[in-house]
Structure 1
Amino acid sequence: MSSGMGSATTPSVAPEVVEAVRERLARTPGELTPHRVAEALRDAGRPVGDATVLAVHDALRRDVLGAGPLEPLLRLPGVTDVLVNGPDAVYVDRGAGLERTDVRFPDDAAVRRLAQRLAGVGGRRLDDAVPHVDLRLGDGTRLHAVLAPVARPGTAISLRVPPTRSFTLEELVAAGTLTPETGRLVRAVVETRLAFLVTGGTGTGKTTLLAALLSLVDRRERLVLVEDSSELRPDHPHVVGLEARPANLEGAGALDVRTLVRQALRMRPDRIVVGEVRGGEVVDLLAALNTGHEGGCGTLHANSAVDVAARVEALALAAGLGREAAHSQLASAVDVVLHLGRPRDGRRRMVQVAVPTRRPDGTVAMVAAVEVGADGVPRPGPGAERLEELLARGAP
């Protein structure tokens, strides 16, 4: 689908003209000015009208500042992701699935230059020796890039746009992420201080929902957020954020999420929040939720709510926690799982709520308490009674 969302250069200027000017300017380094652009156009035997000079100057300026030709896409209302699959395929996600844009790059070398420049801004190396990078830029945008030929059909860039503000629960209901019934349910989960996980696949809105729920927390409570990359922006007056840090170019200075979870425990939190559980930090989060810190929460990648127990077990085993211990910790640490999906219409919505139950062998199974069908109507599942018990137990 073409959306008419802009192009890599001004339409009236051919890409080869911009490249010709770029090559000439590179031979004599200096500040990028319209005067130098005009001189380079004359040297290349190109037209030097005011409109052409300004168009080429604007194209080159976008290429050396910010995210280059992607900058207008990053400023689109509601955009969450900008994805580049080589020079000829640029997509955006504005909440209704991926949309192909009209943005093009002259060639893969131009995509590579942009990826390397953005990596350099973040203080990271990106070249044939280290052909991939994952970092957060100064404005909070998350950059992931893989150079060709490792990536096909060309250099791949993924930009995750940080939210400028937290959505309210009412806005999520209006957008269809929640129904009025599930909206009341998640509000009750927060108010009764149940420990919960928000789960789902990539781009399903886990961080958006979690931020909205944290905004409902009593203003007198202290929230300590631990994130690999700072994305949560809850509307709450007492938030302390801890962000992991990768190693520097010398391979030193790394600070992982596991370490930060342990630090959070010493910071007198009312609620501990792990922005995304990806690895061994699941052990520390489960331990934290089992030490009297009610209402703790986090997000986790999972295919469905009922798969959460197996997902937690796998992460815990990789971190050295035995299967029996992992299930025991999970059973006593997590009260509710809120699962998000993206049905065929591409819109994010909460599709399942589950609660843990013990099997006879001591392992945990997640049982659906609420199922939201394709018609958007929530229906009770076999775990509905258990969910009601949990909410009643936590009610003031």
Structure 2
Amino acid sequence: MSQPDLPGRPGDPQLLERVRARLLGQAGPATPSRVAAAVRAEGEILGDAEVLALSRELGAELTGAGPLEPLLGRPEITDILVNGPHEVWIEAGRGLERVPEVSFPDDDAVRSLAQRLAAQAGRRLDAAAPWIDARLTSGARFHAVLAPLSPGGTCLSLRLPRRRVFTLAELVAAHGLPPEGAEILRGIVAARLPFLICGGTGSGKTTLLSALLSVVAPSERLILVEDAPELRPDHPHVVQLQTRPANIEDRGGVEIHHLVRQALRMRPDRLVVGEVRGPEVTSLLNALNTGHEGGACTLHANTAADVPARLEALGCAAGLSRAAVHSQLAATRVVVAHLTRSDTGTRRLAEICCLARDPTGVVQSVPAATFNPTGALTPGPAWPELCRRLQGHWTPVEVPR
């Protein structure tokens, strides 16, 4: 029979509050010795096991992620979402799942955690700056919005860095890639064709890109440009460049388009942009048109057919004309791989496309290979072009037409 929480025992709110107040008034982490000293100062007598449990609880609250700390240790979790004090959700490859056993005492506890994480990133989060998008020292991407902008309470989200890189074979075994699709993508890498991986949020773009970069020849030098270190290819020669947010005085910020320009001067064999979503699209298009073969990036897009329009919007916002965007895009000869995600969280390769200009000069995504949910391949209008470009690097199978 379990023993109820009593005053002077771990879990007692009054004791926790008193010890917390003492520790916050001192410098240093909530170590077991400091917790024990604070407990003794309160006139309480606890055993070693109780002091250790109390120090863990206070340490997680004062310097860690509080109630979220156990979730951070689960390697299968990629996202943690908090919608106010009583709703915590996770993504572990099966779609979003609520975790009812994890909650916060009140919205002040959620707000305190959000502000502590913001401070770790060197940013402020308060009434004057009620939202934040930052990268933590752990590599996690952190976003938060404070109440009352969020009427249901403070909302925060954590995108956790991948613990390991999946191989193409593992993605095939997990039914995320059809075997023939994996061989086509391997041929694209071997032929040093530029490629773009598109899809919605959580569709597995970064996972697939890391797997493909892992099969690049070991003699090649990879320069990766990202907001956060999400790409972790298993490759011997990787140089990572990461953006830096502006400080509270709005100075010192370094954005992706700055780093793309620097990467071009670092003798890359392959220039890789983790995600294209701003003015860096102009530098990337220029790079892919000036002898930098085999470049790669990811892009948010609902379908492969939307890719030219998305790049057009980004390029025009960066100062290029519509004609210039489509002219440069057509010259890159980028191959597009589109990923989808089902309602159950299953991710899969849906389509591989080539880019081609229509009679008006506008670039279109032309399907070369379409894969149904079982992985069966159906060739599209650009199938002959894809086979020609991969000649010597991939042997096409006989497929029904």
1:146 aligns with 2:145: yes
In the aligned structure 2, how far is the partner of 1:346 from the partner of 1:191? Answer: 30
Which stretches of structure 1, 4 residues or longer, exceed 4 Å deviation after superposition?
Answer: 12-15, 39-43, 47-54, 393-396
**What aligned pairs does 1:216-235 form with structure 2 within 5 A after superposition?**
216-235=215-234
Structure-2 change in CA distance of 1:56 and 1:308 (3 Å) = same
The aligned counterpart of 1:92 is 90
1:285: how far off? 0.5
| Contact kept in structure 2, 1:24 and 1:40, CA below 8 Å | no
The aligned counterpart of 1:25 is 22
- Larger CA deviation: 207-216 vs 54-63: 54-63
In the aligned structure 1, how far is the partner of 2:130 from the partner of 2:147? Answer: 8
**What aligned pairs does 1:192-211 form with structure 2 within 5 A after superposition?**
192-211=191-210
Q: Write the letter of the residue equivalent to 1:25.
A: R
The aligned counterpart of 1:74 is 72
The aligned counterpart of 2:292 is 293
Counterpart secondary structure, 1:167: coil
The aligned counterpart of 1:356 is 355
In the aligned structure 2, how far is the partner of 1:116 from the partner of 1:59? Answer: 19
The aligned counterpart of 2:265 is 266
The aligned counterpart of 1:38 is 39
Counterpart secondary structure, 1:339: strand
| Contact kept in structure 1, 2:195 and 2:297, CA below 8 Å | yes
Unaligned runs of 5+ in 1: 1-11
Structure-2 change in CA distance of 1:290 and 1:30 (3 Å) = closer
1:203: how far off? 1.2
1:170-229, Cα deviation, whole Å (9 max, x unpaired)? 111111211111111110110011111011111111111101101111111111111122
1:335: how far off? 2.4
1:179 aligns with 2:181: no
1:344: how far off? 2.3
Counterpart secondary structure, 2:258: helix
Structure-2 change in CA distance of 1:352 and 1:24 (3 Å) = same
Structure-2 change in CA distance of 1:22 and 1:352 (3 Å) = farther
The aligned counterpart of 1:5 is none
Q: TM-score, normalised on structure 1?
A: 0.90
Structure-2 change in CA distance of 1:22 and 1:146 (3 Å) = farther
**What aligned pairs does 1:272-283 form with structure 2 within 5 A after superposition?**
272-283=271-282
Q: What is the count of residue pairs matched by the alignment?
A: 382
The aligned counterpart of 1:305 is 304
The aligned counterpart of 2:399 is none
1:108: how far off? 0.8
In the aligned structure 2, how far is the partner of 1:81 from the partner of 1:152? Answer: 22
Unaligned runs of 5+ in 2: 1-8, 396-401
| Contact kept in structure 1, 2:19 and 2:35, CA below 8 Å | no
In the aligned structure 1, how far is the partner of 2:41 from the partner of 2:193? Answer: 65
| Contact kept in structure 1, 2:95 and 2:343, CA below 8 Å | no
RMSD: 2.3
1:345: how far off? 2.3
The aligned counterpart of 1:3 is none
| Contact kept in structure 2, 1:25 and 1:40, CA below 8 Å | no
1:347 aligns with 2:366: no
| Contact kept in structure 2, 1:18 and 1:60, CA below 8 Å | no
Counterpart secondary structure, 2:274: strand
1:318: how far off? 0.4
| Contact kept in structure 1, 2:187 and 2:393, CA below 8 Å | no
Structure-2 change in CA distance of 1:188 and 1:18 (3 Å) = farther
1:9-48, Cα deviation, whole Å (9 max, x unpaired)? xxx96574465335643685466433245347658xxx96
Q: Write the letter of the residue equivalent to 1:376.
A: G
The aligned counterpart of 1:4 is none
Q: Write the letter of the residue equivalent to 1:357.
A: A
Counterpart secondary structure, 1:309: helix
Counterpart secondary structure, 1:254: coil
1:50: how far off? 6.1
The aligned counterpart of 1:316 is 315
| Contact kept in structure 2, 1:37 and 1:57, CA below 8 Å | no
In the aligned structure 1, how far is the partner of 2:142 from the partner of 2:41? Answer: 33
In the aligned structure 2, how far is the partner of 1:215 from the partner of 1:222? Answer: 12
| Contact kept in structure 2, 1:134 and 1:144, CA below 8 Å | yes
Q: TM-score, normalised on structure 2?
A: 0.89
Structure-2 change in CA distance of 1:279 and 1:59 (3 Å) = same
1:253-302, Cα deviation, whole Å (9 max, x unpaired)? 11111111111111111111111101111111011000011111101110
Structure-2 change in CA distance of 1:57 and 1:274 (3 Å) = same
- Larger CA deviation: 25-34 vs 329-338: 25-34
1:154-184, Cα deviation, whole Å (9 max, x unpaired)? 1111111111232111111111211111111
In the aligned structure 2, how far is the partner of 1:327 from the partner of 1:368? Answer: 18
1:373: how far off? 1.8
